[in-house]
Amino acid sequence: MANITKKVSWSSRADDSNATGEGTPLLNGSEQLGYSRQDSLKGRPKEITHNEKLLSLKYESLDYDNSENQLFLEEERRMSYLGFRCLEISRWVVCGLIGFLTGLIACFIDIMVEQLTGLKYYVVKENIEKFTAGGGLSISLILWAVLNSAFVMVGAIIVAFFEPIAGGSGIPQIKCYLNGVKIPRVVRLKTLLVKVAGVICSVAGGLVVGKEGPMIHSGAVVAAGVSQGRSTSLKRDFKIFEYFRRDTEKRDFVSAGAAAGVSAAFGAPVGGVLFSLEEAASYWNQMLTWRIFFASMISTFTLNFFLSVYNKNPGELSNPGLINFGSFDRNSSSEYNLYEIPLFIGMGAIGGLLGALFNALNYWLTIFRIRYIHRPCLQVMEAMLVAAVTATVSFIMIYFSNACQPLDVVQGEDYPLQLYCDDGEYNSMATTFFNRPEKSVQNLFHNPPGSYHPLTLGVFTITYFFLACWTYGLAVSAGVFIPSLLIGAAWGRLIGIMLPTLSSTNSTGQIWADPGKYALIGAAAQLGGIVRMTLSLTVILIEATGNVTYGLPLMLVLMTAKIVGDYFEEGLYDIHIKLQSVPFVHSEAPPTSHWLTAREVMSSPVTSFNRVERVGTIVDLLSNTSTNHNGFPVVVSNANGEEPAKLCGLILRSQLIVLLKHKVFVELARSKLTRRKLQLKDFRDAYPRFPPIQSIHVSQDERECMMDLTEFMNPTPYTVPQETSLPRVYKLFRALGLRHLVVVDDSNRVVGLVTRKDLARYHLGKHGLEELQLAQT
Amino acid sequence: MANITKKVSWSSRADDSNATGEGTPLLNGSEQLGYSRQDSLKGRPKEITHNEKLLSLKYESLDYDNSENQLFLEEERRMSYLGFRCLEISRWVVCGLIGFLTGLIACFIDIMVEQLTGLKYYVVKENIEKFTAGGGLSISLILWAVLNSAFVMVGAIIVAFFEPIAGGSGIPQIKCYLNGVKIPRVVRLKTLLVKVAGVICSVAGGLVVGKEGPMIHSGAVVAAGVSQGRSTSLKRDFKIFEYFRRDTEKRDFVSAGAAAGVSAAFGAPVGGVLFSLEEAASYWNQMLTWRIFFASMISTFTLNFFLSVYNKNPGELSNPGLINFGSFDRNSSSEYNLYEIPLFIGMGAIGGLLGALFNALNYWLTIFRIRYIHRPCLQVMEAMLVAAVTATVSFIMIYFSNACQPLDVVQGEDYPLQLYCDDGEYNSMATTFFNRPEKSVQNLFHNPPGSYHPLTLGVFTITYFFLACWTYGLAVSAGVFIPSLLIGAAWGRLIGIMLPTLSSTNSTGQIWADPGKYALIGAAAQLGGIVRMTLSLTVILIEATGNVTYGLPLMLVLMTAKIVGDYFEEGLYDIHIKLQSVPFVHSEAPPTSHWLTAREVMSSPVTSFNRVERVGTIVDLLSNTSTNHNGFPVVVSNANGEEPAKLCGLILRSQLIVLLKHKVFVELARSKLTRRKLQLKDFRDAYPRFPPIQSIHVSQDERECMMDLTEFMNPTPYTVPQETSLPRVYKLFRALGLRHLVVVDDSNRVVGLVTRKDLARYHLGKHGLEELQLAQT
């Protein structure tokens, strides 16, 4: 958080509409803080934190701009060309490791899920078959529901009680991290463990979830861990990769980890790279992208290789990802005709509409959850309830469906359920439920025409839609990709089946013959309508289908879904980011923001330090909880001291804290000549968990000492003049991944500071440019 | 060119080694220019221009940073949200058009080439078959050589005499353009026409060239033309897309065009996007990337569709690109084993070595050409010679080869040549020559084991290697992708054939069975060794094979080839860029450049203007050919005028010229009240061919007038302090696509200016950081 004293305001209620308009804030300075404390005593803090009209100040930013102070420059200058080469090689090694470990984790999750669900389906199927003839199927239902709830309970307990940040898919959190927002605990080892265990439990528990989203989070955590060469949680320091212990480098590796996660999840290494770029990269760096790609490749290869060993076909690399769409051959059914494209676009629009509906429902559900279900035990109970309901609904649907299909050995249904079908037939409704969802998606894409009854698909779509919507946001680790694909594939296939009956001419019956194609388009439309990713999702789907011919239709469908969906409601991830009031800086300034200049946007007045500053002043300022600034311009005053001081550098809270901890005072340096000079290593050792200012004890004598900041401040912070337009400020800020941008007047005197919140505040609402309020929580 | 007065120096010879070391330049100021003129009179300018130790000052930069002056801001502020939406939509329309037209051009080239080569092969084959029995094959040879030379003559004449910039593949030129260097005439309509006609002639003329590289250039020209809504060459202005008439927007579209070209050439839309990003994008822009992808998709789809119509199978979209590697099925022969990976890496190393050899030979050949073959008629004769030699060599090889293969109807050789083979057999050497090279590549990948005799492949590799090396750099439009792939596929397949004989255990014979796999790896290695592209090339190859399983081996091979190759020699495109002395700004500063600061890098003193400046001063400065500056800081002096003036803006030469042309003088504005105010439109109308200062007549009276620059200058240029390290300057410059970066002191007074040449000068040589000399030509 930075030097915002003027604009911090506080709105106590979501419906406090006159406070959310554009313009000046309600209160400022110390008054506002008094108010906020009183207000929070009234017991409504929960609503406030999650108001999408507010921007929370509790999130700090990451320093993606290197602080090029003297220490840093000295180190860089000492380093030989060979040293840089070694660094480069170790970056590659780290990326390889990230890919390998991410692939292993994906493999582990996949195998565990397969074993557990296999066991579960076997038990339930045996039970059902036992009771089918003699009656008493309600016992089977209870068995099924209890099994599911038990799994989910374990998953929910570890998430709700031990690591709430591990809940959900983790994609919004990783998006925020890569955007430059420090989400607490998001890349810790504990989060990873809970995430992996949690996702196994929730998938095994039969929830309407996927294991793909969590892979992205897992990859990111692996990357953040491996690249640092130590574990703060385990208190082990391997004394390697010390150079990488800063936000800039760590972010690069986390991008690679996220890409490796996508790659392992979908077998889409290129899609993974593009995902990372879409979410993260402000500054295109060729070598970095190349390394990210390497991590992705290794990840999908590792997964593929170990799964092939597990499947007893070592070397047959046919499982590049957790989900495979199966082979869409180039020759046979994969063609599409020019006149089908409008149809695809229409399906894209349906996907956009359904996606917006999904998101709107989930938005209200999330608001409800925030208000009423915020205690961990309630969260666990809700998750168990959903698990039981899912089992019950599935059971009822299977029970009342009479969609029998002849049992085809070639198709290889893993758990065909006969139920009330004739011998040699199986219940096709049961197939969609009695399967890992990935397998169901594949079946919808590839089963020959006639495998599904239209009514089965219709009922399945509706049920699954609401179950998925209810499930997303539960306190379990789970992704939304697979449910979306499944819903979309179901209604897409339904459309594919209905088309021949709708078209009057029977001669064209041949070309409508493949409903699997429509299932694919429907899946893309539904997924695009919910998550609204564009470029990366297209590439992921192209890679997952393994067929570039479908590129154009997929792209058109995803575009349509996004345009239609955006008209009604934002993307699911953006909704959740907004509900957390995260100051997210988008890639471009809102189009109509040329009216604003740095002068209006910046926070002022700014708290600055002198180049040589009294320790007491520094400690007092850092301890001031009402401001809680993180970056301080360093200024040098003129001889007479009357003119405002000129900017000569920028120093961070974290740097000051390390300086205070090591007592780098001018007076002490004089007295102890042998004293070790502070090195960059001392800053790296403290990274990333810098101690709070309260833990540092400064005696009354020491308060009178002076600190010389010259060596430690960044002497060349980026600056802009006051008249700079907001888009220009935005571009500079975003392209360089800045945290603090100093606004100066025409004599280089500090007049303000632009930080993440100052930019994230502005967004394009229904009525033109709107300004969000800033809140302390 | 910018305000460089201090550092411009002149080195007259390539071997002027003491002038190329690090440190101060030889001469400066006016002396240097006198020297340069004397020297050029001595008649050695040709060598100098093409010295890779020099950096030419003749290339200007593009303005990728918007000049946000008052006019611009007013226009942006006037624009409603709807206006921005319309702009966005028209951007999409333009990208769609770019893709469509690029696809059409690719289709046209493909069909023309197929028709012409078909005709040629038919005639020659008939002739050979006529003379095989009765003798007199020398007549066939002459016929073949004459036919080839005739085609090539036409192609070489139009390139050498009409538009030399259309020669070669055009990829180096597009790389430079996207990097921000203004290469004259590179995106003009005439260039496009010559390029298209030239590439048809050179491919039809049997040269060892491909038509893929030129597609990238063609796409870029299409983009630059379509996006401007007018043709300066044809003097037609459609009054549309006027907003896009500036470098920033045009560059974005050219990126899309280049991507569309790649996409059409290889059927690789994602690869196209990555190519554009790798070469162009400094600042990652999500919407832009998405549009580039759209253009790529449309391009490959258009090509595919029209080719399917041409092949009388409308709707069978099986030709996404000009070259298709054919289908590498997932199931059958496409597997590779873990222990094959070291083998692949070894092949990557071979590719790197052969690539470096190729590049070194081509480098010396280019130097030779620059010195001795610079007259157009000589260039045409050389091209014809190469064509004749190519035909002769091919003929001799076919004649002396006795590699007969049984004629297999299923394989469908287009022009099987029996020659001295038995009935029902054909000459396999003839196949590789009597084929479009694309088809030969496919055959090498997919023909069943035993199709080629090892000796055939060996001889073919060697011959083709030298022919390709000789051909690249001729004054014809031609690419190097296909020859590289072909060479690599040949030796790759050779390795694939030799392996089973080398391995002692016969039991493993099965797994070596598919030499096509090794052909693919060899092709990748050779191509990577020559062009040294990394990420985009991997993706292009993955897309061309249509099989993601090969991703990891391809990537490893390309990496190895690049590392090995870079050790000996640079990439082919980089060599040619360097030989043109283009100031190319790489994506990152050289690693050991932290020693340098803006103070050492910048050019100074800087020529500045006052906010209100005398017309005479401006005209004199602009007319000064010795400086030829393009950007001028605008300063405001203190009241007493003693202190150095403070920076208040930046104005470009092009803006000043428009102002002078419209005589926007303070005095005139007062006298003629009804005078139309200068608008942004006036600047756009003059774009991009601003008249030279010499064409603007300013009378003696007018010279005494004053010009107020306030409204037209960019009031918020980016600045850095003098102490900023080179990597930091570099990052800012590159990330924002700057042309001028003002260096200021701690009171915001101008002390220097950093431009493209100041950054491009520094590069990492064999002995650490080296500094290139700047030359006026």
**A434-464 per-position pLDDT tens digit:** 777 888 888 888 877 777 788 888 988 999 9
CA distance B353 to B365: 18
Chain B contact for A286, CB < 8 A?
yes
Q: Between helices B341-372 and B515-531, what is the axis angle to 10°? A: 40
What is the mean pLDDT of the segment spanning A160-167? 92
Q: What is the pLDDT of residue B136?
A: 75
Across-strand partners of B649?
B634
Distance CA B465, CA B484 (A): 8
CB B221 within 8 A of CB B187: yes
* CA distance to partner chain B, nearest, from residue A451 (Å): 25
Find chain A residues with C-beta within 8 A of B730's C-beta: none
B404 strand-pairing partners = B427
Which chain B residues contact residue A304 at CB under 8 A?
549
Contact criterion met (CB < 8 Å) for A290 and B76:
no
Report residue B499 as tokens.
């392996």
Across B175-190, average pLDDT: 90
pLDDT band at A580 (very low <50, low <70, confident <90, very high): confident
B534 to A732: CB separation less than 8 angstroms, yes or no:
no
pLDDT digits (tens, 9 = 90+) for A313-371: 776 667 778 887 877 654 444 467 777 889 999 999 999 999 999 999 999 999 999 88
Query: A293 at the B interface (CB within 8 A)?
Result: yes
Alpha-carbon distance of B305 to A337, in angstroms, equals: 10
- What pLDDT is attached to residue B319? 75
Residues of B in contact with A323 (CB under 8 A): none
Q: Which residue has the higher pLDDT, A644 or B177?
A: B177
* Minimal CA separation from B626 to chain A, in Å: 32
* Residues of chain A with C-beta less than 8 angstroms from the C-beta of B76: 594
Instruction: For residues B26 and B33, give the distance between their C-alpha atoms in angstroms, rounded to a whole number.
Output: 12
Whether A377 and chain B come into contact, CB under 8 Å, resolves to no
3-state secondary structure of A592: coil
Distance CA A198, CA A191 (A): 10
β-pairing, A740-744 with A750-755?
antiparallel
Segment A476-531, tens digit of pLDDT: 998 999 999 999 999 999 998 888 776 654 444 444 557 888 999 999 999 999 99
A710 touches chain B (CB under 8 A): no
Residue A665 confidence (pLDDT): 84
pLDDT of residue B472: 92
Judge whether A284 is closer than 8 Å to chain B, CB to CB: yes
Assess contact for A7 and A32: CB atoms under 8 A.
no
Mutation target among A178, A286, A345, A601 for the B interface, most CBs of B within 10 A: A286
Q: E strand or H helix at B646, and its extent? A: strand B646-652
Residue recorded with tokens 């330090």: A609
Q: Which fold has domain A338-579?
A: Clc chloride channel (1.10.3080)
Q: Does A546 touch chain B (CB under 8 A)?
A: yes
pLDDT, position B460: 87
Task: Find the mean pLDDT for residues B685-697.
Answer: 85
Q: Do A287 and B547 touch (CB under 8 A)?
A: no
- Which residues in chain A touch residue B90, judged by CB atoms under 8 angstroms apart? none
Listed by number, the residues of chain B in 723-752 with a beta carbon closer than 8 Å to a beta carbon of chain A are 723-725, 728, 731-732, 735-736, 744, 746-748
Q: Which residues pair with A650 in a beta bridge?
A: A633, A714
With a cut of 50, say whether residue A6 has pLDDT above it: no
ipTM for this prediction: 0.87
CB pair distance less than 8 Å for B284 and A285: no
**Closest C-alpha to A483, from A449, A530, A551:** A530
pLDDT on residue A772: 82
**B170 pLDDT higher than 60:** yes
- Helices H, strands E: what count in chain A? 30, 18
8 Å CB contact between A740 and A587:
no
Which chain B residue's Cα is nearest to A80?
A: B592
Taking the CA atoms of residue A535, residue A540, residue A543 and residue A545 in that order, the dihedral angle to the nearest 10 degrees is: -110
Of B546, B747, B764, the CB nearest to A747: B747
Mean pLDDT of B166-178: 90
Q: How far apart are CA B244 and CA B241, in angstroms?
A: 6
CB pairs under 8 A between A and B: 210
Q: Do domains A17-59+587-775 and A338-579 have the same CATH topology?
A: no
Dump pLDDT digits (tens) for B500-546: 776 654 444 444 557 888 999 999 999 999 999 888 898 898 888 87
Query: Is A134's pLDDT higher than 80?
Result: no
Closest-CA distance, B13 to chain A, in angstroms, reads 29
CB atoms within 10 A of CB B731: 22
pLDDT of residue A426: 75
Kindly state the average pLDDT of the residues B118-126. Answer: 86
- Name every residue whose Cβ is closer than 8 Å to that of residue A368 and which is 6 or more positions away in sequence: none
pLDDT digits (tens, 9 = 90+) for B304-317: 889 988 988 776 66
Segment of A99-103, A375-379, A686-690, B537-541 carrying the highest mean pLDDT: A99-103
Out of A77, A305, A592, name the one closest to residue B81 (CB).
A592
- Number of C-beta neighbours around residue A239 at 10 A: 7
CB neighbours (10 Å) of residue A319? 21
Q: Name the residue among B269, B304, B721 with its Cβ closest to that of A716.
A: B721
A281 at the B interface (CB within 8 A)? yes
Q: What's the rounded mean pLDDT across residues A135-157?
A: 89
- Encode pLDDT of A746-772 as tens digits: 888 999 999 998 898 888 877 778 888
Q: What would the mean pLDDT of B112-119 be, rounded to a whole number?
A: 90
DSSP 8-state symbol, B340: G
Cα dihedral B743/B748/B749/B753 (nearest 10): 10
Confidence band, pLDDT 50/70/90 cuts, at residue B624: confident
Q: Is A450 on the interface with B (CB under 8 A)?
A: no
CA dist., res. A395 & res. A465, Å (int): 16
User: Which among A294, A327, A588 is the nearest to B330, CB-wise?
Assistant: A327
Query: Is the CB of B286 less than 8 angstroms away from the CB of A764?
Result: no
Beta strand spans in A645-714 (E): 646-652, 706-708
Taking CB atoms and an 8 Å limit, are B546 and A542 in contact across chains? no
Answer CATH for A17-59+587-775 from 3.40.50.300, 3.10.580.10, 3.30.110.60, 3.40.50.360: 3.10.580.10
Q: Is the pLDDT of residue A180 over 50?
A: yes
Summarize pLDDT for A603-623 with one digit per residue, the tens: 888 889 999 999 999 999 888
Q: Hey, of B84, B313, B748, which one would you mutate to test binding to chain A, going by the most A CBs within 10 A of its CB?
A: B748
| A269 contacts in chain B (CB < 8 Å) | 548, 551
Instruction: Note whether B270 contacts A718, CB cutoff 8 Å.
Output: no
Among the listed residues A368, A362, A319, A348, the one whose alpha carbon sits nearest the alpha carbon of residue A208:
A362
Residue A160 DSSP code = I
Task: Give the pLDDT confidence score for residue A122 in this predicted structure.
Answer: 86
Q: Which residues of A touch B278 (CB under 8 A)?
A: 286, 289
Give the C-alpha separation, B506 to B501, whole Å: 9
Q: Is A551 on the interface with B (CB under 8 A)?
A: yes
Rounded to an integer, what distance in angstroms lies between the CA atom of residue B55 and that of residue B69?
A: 32
Six-digit token pair at B61?
A: 């930069």
pLDDT on residue A444? 85
Residues 611 to 640 of B: which have CB under 8 A from any A CB? 636
With an 8 Å Cβ cutoff, are A285 and B588 in contact?
Answer: yes
Could you tell me the fold of the domain covering B587-760? CBS-domain (3.10.580)
The domain limits of chain B are: 100-310, 587-760
Contact B546 A721 (CB under 8 A): no
> B574-594 as b/e, with b when 16 or more CB fall inside 10 Å?
bbbbbbbbbbbbbbebbbbbb
Q: Are β-strands A609-610 and A631-636 bridged in parallel, bridged antiparallel, or unpaired?
A: parallel
* pLDDT band at residue A734 using 50, 70 and 90 as cut-offs: confident
pLDDT, average across residues A718-743: 91
For residue B280, the distance in angstroms to the closest alpha carbon of chain A comes to 9
Which residue in A has a C-alpha nearest to residue B88's C-alpha? A591
Average per-residue pLDDT in chain B?
82
Q: Which of A218-222, A630-634, A672-676, B570-574 has the lowest mean pLDDT?
A: A672-676
* B chain contacts of residue A720, beta-carbon cutoff 8 Å: 716
> pLDDT averaged over chain A?
82
| pLDDT at site B414 | 65
Q: Which of residues 337-376 of A touch B (CB under 8 A)?
A: 337-338
Return the minimum-mean-pLDDT range out of A447-456, B86-95, B175-184, B568-577: A447-456
Q: Which residues of A touch B315 (CB under 8 A)?
A: 335, 337-338
Q: Show which of residues 80-99 on chain A sit within 8 Å of chain B, judged by CB atoms.
A: 80-81, 84
**What pLDDT, in 10s, does the model give residues B387-435?**
999 999 888 888 777 667 776 654 555 667 777 777 777 777 777 677 7
Per-residue pLDDT, B46: 39
Predicted confidence band of residue A86 (pLDDT cuts 50, 70, 90): very high
Cross-strand partners of B633: B650
Of the candidates A158, A258, A156, A268, the residue with the CA atom closest to the CA atom of residue A207 = A156
- Say which CATH architecture domain B100-310 belongs to: Orthogonal Bundle (1.10)
Please tell me if residue B542 touches chain A, with a CB cutoff of 8 Å.
yes
